[in-house]
Chain A
Amino acid sequence: MHIFVLIKQVPETDKVKMDPETGTMVRSGLESIVNPLDLYAIEEALVLKERHGAHITVLSMGPPDAERALRESLAMGCDSAILLTDRAFAGSDTWATSRVLAAAIRRAGDVDIILAGERATDGDTGQVGPAVAAWLDIPVLTYVSSLEIEAEPLSTTTAAHGAPLSENTPTAITSASSPVAVPKTIRVRRLTEEGYQVLQARPPCLVTVVKEIASPRLPTLRGKKFARSAEVVRWGAGDLDLDPASTGLAGSPTRVTKIFYPKVARNGQRIVAADEAGIETAIGHIMTLFEKKGLLDKASAGDRAFAPSVPLATASFSSSAPEHSSVAQGAAGQESDTADTPTKPEFWILAERRAGGLDVVSFELLARARALADSRGALLAAVVPTSSLSEEDAGALIAHGADRVLALEHPFLRDFLCETWAAVLYKLVRERQPEVFLAAATTTGRTLMPYLAAKLGTGLTADCTELAIEEGTGLLLQTRPAIGGNIMATIKTARHKPQMATVRPHSMQPLSPDTGRRGAVIRLAGGPFAGEASEPPVRILALERNTEDFENLEGARIVVSGGRGLKKADNFKLIRELACTLGAVVGASREVVDRGWISYPHQVGLSGKTISPEIYLCAGISGAIQHLAGIRTAKTVISINTDPDAPIHAVADLAIVGDLFDILPRLTARLRQGATHGLPHEHPWPSSDGLAPASPAAARSVDEEVTGSSKEARS
């Protein structure tokens, strides 16, 4: 078995500091390291090697200095290393990078599995993995949290292993001596917003992994010695038969046009909760803030946990799309859509579905794209790959701003499968030539879009927080955070169509539905699209929706997070109880996830989730850059930390310098009583909503235990 691991050398992003005076990043003193998320991919490769026998080639594109990252990987136990380095590669965007990586893998020979971290902590796009898979035309499995291989032991007759990706494959890289097994199937658990998908695919395929998958081993002395003496193969554009003019900056569809530094500090209010009065003041302020946000209204706690499901349009849908309710047989090119002038460009958004209907991110995208399409004089279409789109859902998309709904209906399109969806969308993009194509930066969008963009040969910008149309050129200005949110970059795709971008979920409110809006629903069932949706290369074996202790942080409207200040895993119940009472989702810092106090799906930050809740309340979290990167787009931040100098306080709207053990239990109790004195609303908390908080007695026992132990600590 031959495994490739794609790695990137990155600056220590979580140690980036900001110059308080200039507001710019202080880069001096930063070391270059292996992208921390790639270490999980390396570890998983090593586990597979131990289990089944394999040769591991680690591959990176970068400056000559990136050799250090490769040697670090060799020291951990990888067998060989290739560095793709060439002046011509400089300035590559993810499209150009993935093209070079794919060319190198082709040249290197047979491959069974390609592993990569889910994304790099500097660029933070997650696009290179899926794009490499697209170039190689193999399946991509993203956000994988566990992986199993069914392998056949090497038969005595066939010494060959892996599937050739090209006709003539020099096998210089593949060591002949390594023990090999031939993998037959690969089965993975893929982390999504809703839980886990269990997928099965046939190798070769590309797998991007999340940190849940493995705990990286440390480099050993033996490994270091091997790494020092090992040859790191260097390939340039010439070695890969790539025209230098088509690589690097010159070959990149996207271009950074502006870099600026976002304002970090929020200069919020600070309260010192050192004594009884201070604690009361702090709780009063939190309650007031909750009230301002409408959290103390009588509503079931369960509804508050997630962004409100947008009420479906009650408009009579039949009137909005009478003639075009079904345009089949690939009629897109010749549709008799006389109402719209054919010269009008089309802007697309990808509408995503969840269990129970359309995902709210679809409406957020419509809100953004509506403004963009209007300023460009374009039509806005919502594209929905699905098994079948209900009239209600189609109507809701129109009511929220779509001029057209392109329903791609086929049984194979029911659940997200990257290759299948991409095949269908590829065809549709080629036919209808949209000018802009946006998707939410969800696990679906971040997998599908780079795969599709690579196939289409166009640029893609990841996780944008701002979009605008440039005056004069009419081009899409795509602004996104990078390096842990420490810088913002505005990016253009000037010469390629469509201009593609993924957009950070919950960075915009949906429009209020306008039931009077008219629009066309175009159902593209059967015809040429059925042919594209052939038997998928990846099969969904199961969907695990109600996995224990899984929570959809990205979709949460309120997040309550805990960090090391909780002192031990047990004390997470203080966070859980508050979250339960508020109808919030539980988050955590990297440190406590690393310690196993809580599972990875709860992790907020650079190597976890990036979230944009209405309210982010965190206790016992100091606010390392790594963590702040995940909450920059949170609307309101409340921090509770005993350390007055904790960086989290600088970015909080309400900074409480105090002990979480004093504040959290009381806050929970206060919320359970309902809003009390000083606050107008007095609603008892519903207890029959399934998310019923534990009894007040339980809250007291927590309180006692905690104070008990802290007393003991001082004795």
Chain B
Amino acid sequence: MTYNHLTQEIIDELIRIVGERNVLLDPARTEAFSHDETSKEEYGHMPEVVVTPQSTEAVAAVVKLANQHRIPITPRGAGSGLSGGAIPVYGGIVLSLEKMNRVREIDYDNLTMTVETGIVTNEINNLVKDKGLFYAGYPMSLETCTLGGNIAENAGGGKAIKYGVTSRYILGLEFVTPTGEVVWLGGKLAKDVTGYDLVHLIVGSEGTLGIATAAIIRLIGLPVAKSDLLVLFRSPQEAISTVPIILSKGLIPTAIEFMDRRSVETSCAYLNENLPYAECGAMLLIEMDGRDPALVEREAEAVGDLCMEQGAIEVYVADNRTTQERLWAIRRNIAEAFKVYCPVQSLEDIVVPPAAIPAVIPELDRISEQFGITIPCYGHAGDGNLHATLVKAPDMPMEAWRRIEPEALTALYEAITRLGGKISGEHGIGLKRKAYMKKFMSPVELALLKAIKRAWDPNLIMNPGKIFDIED
């Protein structure tokens, strides 16, 4: 793709639209917008300008200007993405929604909230907590992530098995099209089949179809009680085969997190946590939540009993916050513990049918051995979304790592494709994985994606170079 570069006239026009203090040109300040949570060295690109509009009209005007002059425009939330989705690959304009963070309405009668998408997602829950409500789409990732980013990636997270992913809670969107039109899609409606479901086409489109400037989100009752179980199994097979048994009894945990032996060992060693995991081949961390503490306790016990019936070595129970934090620390510190082992990694978020998880493990072992790397496997067992992370051996030279990383990823993606899985469950394709799309997505499906893109964004200015290369 070729795009035009910024001219002084365009900069002046941007200043006219959003005001001088909302236009950043100094590379010292725009540098922060050149990368996300992926490696800056590997994926970073500098924007020519960063704008921080404060109204939907200003966003639309900026987009219209960019479309007119064929300048690429990259929308951005908090920059906490893991697939390079907010990186301005072709330079141009980064449009940061950080100043679009107002709450427009909290509707307690419809249990909805209308907010601008630059709002920090965590903040939404702080605002409605006192009313006993919560926004369940919060992916529990970085505390700084914004709703707009969650919408762009259709963020998932650890609680998806009970609460689903972001899309379930997005009822309507205020949307700026790539040509600069403003439109409201959806509404405070529980049902809506009036035409194509564009809201849910936009959710997860990684900012390639336009910019959502506000959203109507669904609120639900805040669970006040929770109980966590840490279950030690002898093998991944035993652990995973327990999951459908739990679900089929009508017990719906908030989270079922899977940790393989390597993850558990590394994290426990890092935390100095002395669980008796010698015989343990895998662990499940299961959380039950609800509004009635007694009921939650009973259900947690029922889940624990099922696990014991399935041959669990031990079931630990945490029903106060301090103990719960101790259990979750094991799961949450896996990534950090491996960073201490070796900071050079490729964090993956493959997704497979949940029952295929045990079959993934030997594949990971095979790939680890073949390439001389380590691949701990942990993640959301309830929905088959696994963070199989490629970790460089500490003594492996960087040149060797750069050579084998794509080969090992290809091997991994091939394996999960054979098992009926896909390459990304919640982080998105973005820049990081687009090279693999041709190999792992059917040509027909890919063609449909590109046709949609061309229909919505005729000048191809909206977050170009993500998910796929249009002319590739």
Contact = CB atoms under 8 A, between A and B. Distances in A.
Do the two chains belong together in a single complex?
yes
B314 interface: yes
Contacts of A224: 301, 317
B27 interface: no
A36 B322 contact: yes
Interface string A697-715: 0000000000001101111
B339 interface: yes
Residues of B in contact with A, size category? 20 to 34
A220 B320 CA distance: 13
Interface in B79-121: none
A224 B302 CA distance: 12
A220 B41 contact: no
A319 interface: no
B3 interface: no
Interface in A571-609: 594-596
Interface in B422-453: none
Contacts of B340: 567-568
Interface string A31-65: 10100100000000000000000000000000000
A218 B318 CA distance: 8
B323 interface: yes
Contacts of B320: 31, 33, 72
Given A12-B322, A221-B301, A714 B317 contact: no
Interface string B194-231: 00000000000000000000000000000000000110
Contacts of B39: 714-715
Interface in A581-640: 594-596
A282 to B, nearest CB: 19
Interface in A547-572: 567-568
A596 B327 CA distance: 17
B322 A33 contact: yes
A432 interface: no
Residues of A in contact with B, size category? 20 to 34
B344 interface: yes
Given A220-B317, A221-B301, A567-B340, A714 B229 contact: no
B321 A219 contact: no
A715 B41 contact: yes
Contact of B271 (A595, A710, A713, A714): A595
Nearest to B339: A713
A27 interface: no
A87 interface: no
Contact of B304 (A33, A221, A595): A221
B270 interface: yes
Interface string A12-31: 10010000000000000001
B274 interface: yes
A225 interface: yes
Contacts of B316: 218-221
A586 B308 CA distance: 46
Contacts of B318: 218-219
B335 to A, nearest CB: 12
Contact of B317 (A36, A219, A567, A712): A219
Contacts of A595: 270-272
Contacts of B327: 218
A215 interface: yes
A712 B342 CA distance: 9
Contacts of B343: 709-710, 712-713
A75 interface: yes
Contact of B301 (A33, A72, A225, A710): A225
B296 interface: no
A60 B339 CA distance: 43
Contacts of A713: 339, 343-344
Contacts of B271: 594-595
Contacts of B40: 714
A594 B330 CA distance: 13
Contacts of A31: 320-322
Given A72-B320, A225-B301, A715 B42 contact: yes
A596 B268 CA distance: 11
A472 B428 CA distance: 74
Contacts of A715: 39, 41-42, 344, 398
Nearest to B315: A221
Given A567-B340, A714-B39, A221 B321 contact: no
Interface in B301-333: 301, 304-305, 308, 314-318, 320-323, 326-327
Contacts of B305: 221
Contact of B326 (A218, A567, A596): A218
A595 B271 CA distance: 4
Nearest to A224: B317
B308 A221 contact: yes
A36 B42 CA distance: 45
Contacts of B229: 221
A271 to B, nearest CB: 18
A214 B263 CA distance: 24
Contacts of B275: 218
A215 B274 contact: yes
Nearest to B129: A29
Given A12-B322, A712-B343, A221 B274 contact: no
Nearest to A567: B340
Contacts of A222: 315
B286 to A, nearest CB: 11
Contacts of A218: 230, 275, 316-318, 323, 326-327
Contacts of A15: 321
Contacts of B273: 215
Nearest to B340: A568
B344 A219 contact: no
Contacts of A568: 340
A596 B271 CA distance: 8
Nearest to A32: B320
Interface in A61-78: 72, 75
A349 to B, nearest CB: 39
Nearest to B401: A715
A595 B266 CA distance: 12
A567 B275 CA distance: 22
A606 to B, nearest CB: 13
Given A221-B301, A713-B343, A715-B398, A594 B317 contact: no
Contacts of B315: 220-222
Contacts of B308: 221
Contacts of A12: 321-322
B37 to A, nearest CB: 11
A356 B318 CA distance: 49
Nearest to A225: B301
B320 to A, nearest CB: 5
A713 to B, nearest CB: 4
Contacts of A221: 229, 301, 304-305, 308, 314-317
Interface string A206-241: 000000000100111111110000000000000000
A219 B274 CA distance: 14
Interface in A669-715: 709-710, 712-715
A594 B272 contact: yes
Nearest to B322: A33
A567 B339 CA distance: 9
Contacts of A220: 314-317
Interface of B: 39-42, 229-230, 270-275, 301, 304-305, 308, 314-318, 320-323, 326-327, 339-340, 343-344, 398
11 contacts: A15-B321, A33-B321, A72-B320, A218-B318, A220-B316, A221-B305, A567-B340, A595-B272, A596-B272, A715-B42, A715-B398
Given A12-B322, A215-B274, 13 more contacts: A33-B322, A36-B322, A218-B316, A219-B316, A220-B314, A221-B229, A221-B317, A222-B315, A567-B339, A567-B340, A595-B271, A714-B41, A715-B344
Interface of A: 12, 15, 31, 33, 36, 72, 75, 215, 218-225, 567-568, 594-596, 709-710, 712-715
Q: Which 4 A-B pairs have the closest CB atoms?
A: A596-B272, A713-B343, A221-B315, A218-B316
